[in-house]
Amino acid sequence: MIGMSTTRTVLSFHWFIFGFDGRIGSWANCVSISPVTYFLYLDSMATLEIQTGDAPILRETAVPIPEIDADLLQLIADMFETMYAVQGIGLAAPQIGVSKRLIIIDIEEHHPEYPRIALINPVITMAVGEELGEEGCLSLPGIRGMVQRSATVKVEGLLPNGDKIEFDASGLMARVLQHERDHLDGVLFTDLLIPGDQQLLEPPPEMATEI
């Protein structure tokens, strides 16, 4: 999970936007979410425990999701509730102890071109360029680092209504997609750190404090 400060109020979220309608090629607010829409209005969302440190599930390969049912939709709702409660912008199912290939992302507050989305069985089919950026993870409290990621990616997966989706992402969205997708294969951002890049995070000598 990538953490980031946000001003969203958790209790106000009784519905979610799950991405864009790939059939028309543009972002849309729940335009294609049919009979399963009922779960978007649930008031019984739960805040789940985030797995941290050396929790075994963080190193496991998550299991593909064979079908979309009420339990999965409830899980998605609970994941959003959990993510907002800890002021995150992305969350993968293994981070809340569930071995499913499921991620959610919400960077809409800072990047309105990317409304919040839940992706089932996401696959990165193309990656172009390189970009160095700072990352953290609520599964690794207090740790941050500079990580090289692809600058642009193409991703495909399923939306909660069962529609297949494929889209391109760049900038922060590309970084969060790669970070969360890594969680599904038991990869943490700390596995990708290159020592030389971390100098960018070290304080100047005059600011260093001995402990």
Active-site residue list: 180
Amino acid found at 167? F
Q: Please enumerate in sequence order all residues whose Cβ is within 8 A of that of 118, keeping only pairs 6 or more positions apart, or say none.
A: 16, 18, 19, 76, 79, 80, 102, 103, 104, 159, 160
| Secondary structure tally for the chain: helices H, strands E | 2, 9
Q: Give the count of alpha carbons within 13 A of 14, CB side only.
A: 7
> Do the beta carbons of residue 146 and residue 197 sit within 8 Å?
yes
